Amino acid sequence: MTDIRHFQLLARYNAWMNEKLMDAAAALPADALHTDRGAFFGSILGTLNHLIVTDTMWFRRFLDHPAARRGQALSPIAAMPVENRLDARPFDTLQALRPRRTAIDAAISAWVGELQPDDLAYLLTYRNSKGIPSRRETASLLLHVFNHQTHHRAQAGTLLTQAGIEVGVTDLLILVPDEQPARC
């Protein structure tokens, strides 16, 4: 069985990296955030919007998970509107987008923190954005969601670098505790 601590680490990494991206993006003028840079979702802001849209979609699906029904961690996401297009841009400015990003990341971290090891094996039934029904293991779905976030954050980081803004260290290793014995 998968170790729940891995998902807790990924949730912490997710929130940390999103905060770093928001800080880096805030260093750019608004027009630079909207500039089409040839990425999947065009601009830096388009890419950040895509992550908001898909994270909302996914964690709304997780509302049907027994762990979500046991607690209230995902209730902020339950109240958020859901876009029906992956390229939707619900936010025109970084200042409008940032509070939603922070709220989603807090809900994700809280929910993952409440998960029990057996919750990871639960088979979640959902429909994808095209309405196709699926039934998949929670652990695999969470891996997908965190991997998806990393994929598009890397794109946003590259776009920021091309715009002259450095995001800084992005390695997950920074959050992994060093457990070597102390040397005397």
114-134: pLDDT as tens digits? 999 999 999 999 999 899 999
Among candidates 52, 149, 164, 146, which has minimal Cα distance to 99? 52
Q: Which pLDDT belongs to residue 144?
A: 98
The residues facing 69 across adjacent strands are none
Average pLDDT over residues 89-94: 98
Question: Which residues are CB-contacts of 183 (< 8 A; sequence separation ≥ 6)?
Answer: none
CA distance 27 to 168: 13
CATH number of 4-166, picked from 2.60.120.200, 1.20.120.450, 1.20.20.10, 4.10.490.10: 1.20.120.450
Per-residue pLDDT, 181 = 81
Confidence of residue 180 (pLDDT cuts 50, 70, 90): confident
Rounded to an integer, the average pLDDT of 81-97 is 96
Annotated ligand binding at 50? The verdict is yes
- Spatial separation of the C-alpha atoms in residues 127 and 106, rounded to whole Å: 25
**Is 65 annotated to bind ligand?**
no
> pTM (2 decimals)?
0.93
Q: What is the mean pLDDT of the chain?
A: 95
Bridge pairing between strands 133-137 and 123-127: antiparallel
The packing angle between helices 44-61 and 94-114, to 10°, is: 30
pLDDT value at position 109? 98
pLDDT of the residue at 179: 87
23-79 pLDDT tens trace: 999 999 999 999 999 999 999 999 999 999 999 999 999 999 999 999 999 999 999
Q: How far apart are CA 139 and CA 134, in angstroms?
A: 15
